[in-house]
Amino acid sequence: MKRQLATALPTVLFSASMLILSATPWAADPAAGAAGWLKEYPQADGSKPRSCTTCHGRDLTQPGQHANTGKVIEPLAPSVNPQRLTDAAKIEKWLRRNCRWTIGRECTADEKADFIAYIKTQ
Amino acid sequence: MSPYRFKSVLTLLVTGTLAVSSAHLAFADDDDDDHERGKDDWFESRQAPVVNATYSEECGSCHMAYQPGLLPPQAWARIMTSDALIDHYGDDASLSEELRAEISAFLAANATNVSQQMIPGDASNPGATSGGLPRITASAEFKDEHDEIPARLVTGNPEVNSFSQCNACHQKAAEGNYDERWIDIPGHGPWRD
């Protein structure tokens, strides 16, 4: 019995790690997310270049401000705003809208994972 | 529609609304200016509060959730099409079909039916207004209420920026109260006309 467990344990651990890996086939990279966060995108319509910081700012523990309306945006950092990254539908909605508005296209799954990984570290 | 017909419709509505709002009227009586302005202005200064949680959450996360009564149903319908939401006055405000349907129904049910004049621009030519979408600030009523305010206090005022920021000056705009007593223009103070 003991021997069976000893041989079975590495197999179980290996399978478990594969499960986690297969759930995230891309490697979410906080550093790439941070770089993408700061990157400025020129706008075809002649308006000012945009980046994520245009509305959210550079410090995610601080509030941001909507570029057009001036409305305060609560901090994105989960460390000061535990409600962040708790609602999958909200995450999808805002990434869809904000990627289109800022970059001019929807973000890829990799880019989105990187942004989330970065925000999680803040 | 002539201004006189518009006023008579307003008067009818005011008569109905006064009955449930006598408390506010008592306050308004203290304000000499309200006496001079008359009941039509008093009616326009009050909007039914926004009472749909989805609307408040989805639209209010970027800007003040404008009271549905500030535009007629035709205008809200144009604003709320899927295509229009993708380019929402220069922003992307796209919604899931489920949320779009819920908010559209709320706006349609609570829009103003007071006057066709509230349709900004030429109603027979929907593309005529700036940006293609109706604007509360482009309505004749809005312009009439704000035409004496110098641009420097609004568009030239970094704390206001635009006439669309109702709550920058109207301290109780979010509650639907546009009464003159609650105006405080940043850097300027109260406004009396």
3-state secondary structure labels for all residues of B146-175: HCCCCHHHCCCCCCCCCCCCHHHHECCHHH
Give the span between the Cα atoms of A113 and A27, in whole angstroms.
Answer: 8
Q: Give the pLDDT score at B97.
A: 96
Q: Does the distance separating the beta carbons of B91 and A101 come in below 8 Å?
A: yes
pLDDT per position as a tens digit, B18-37: 444 444 444 444 444 444 44
Give the span between the Cα atoms of A78 and B5, in whole angstroms.
Answer: 56
Predicted confidence pLDDT, tens digits, chain A (122 residues): 555 555 565 555 555 555 455 455 557 999 999 999 999 999 988 889 999 999 999 999 999 999 988 899 999 999 999 999 999 999 999 999 999 999 999 999 999 999 999 999 99
Q: Give the pLDDT score at B37.
A: 45
Helix (H, G, I), strand (E, B) or coil at B96: coil
Residues 6+ apart with CB under 8 A from B118: B70, B71, B72, B75, B112, B139, B141
Confidence category of residue B122, pLDDT binned at 50, 70, 90: very low
A93/chain B closest Cα distance in angstroms = 8
Q: From chain A, which residues contact B within 8 Å (Cβ)?
A: 47, 66, 68-71, 89, 93, 96-98, 100-101
B13/chain A closest Cα distance in angstroms = 33
Cross-strand pairs, B88: B91
How many other CB atoms sit within 10 Å of the CB of residue B120? Answer: 23
Give the span between the Cα atoms of B193 and B2, in whole angstroms.
Answer: 25
Residue A84 vs residues A37, A60, A61, A73: alpha-carbon distances, Å: 17, 11, 11, 12
How many other CB atoms sit within 10 Å of the CB of residue A91? Answer: 16
Confidence category of residue B193, pLDDT binned at 50, 70, 90: confident
- Phi, psi angle pair for A72, to nearest 5°: -70, 135
B8 with B124: CB under 8 angstroms?
Answer: no
Q: Does the distance separating the beta carbons of B92 and A100 come in below 8 Å?
A: yes
Q: Does the distance separating the beta carbons of A68 and B89 come in below 8 Å?
A: yes
Q: Does the distance separating the beta carbons of A97 and B93 come in below 8 Å?
A: yes
Q: Chain B partners of A56 at a C-beta cutoff of 8 Å?
A: none
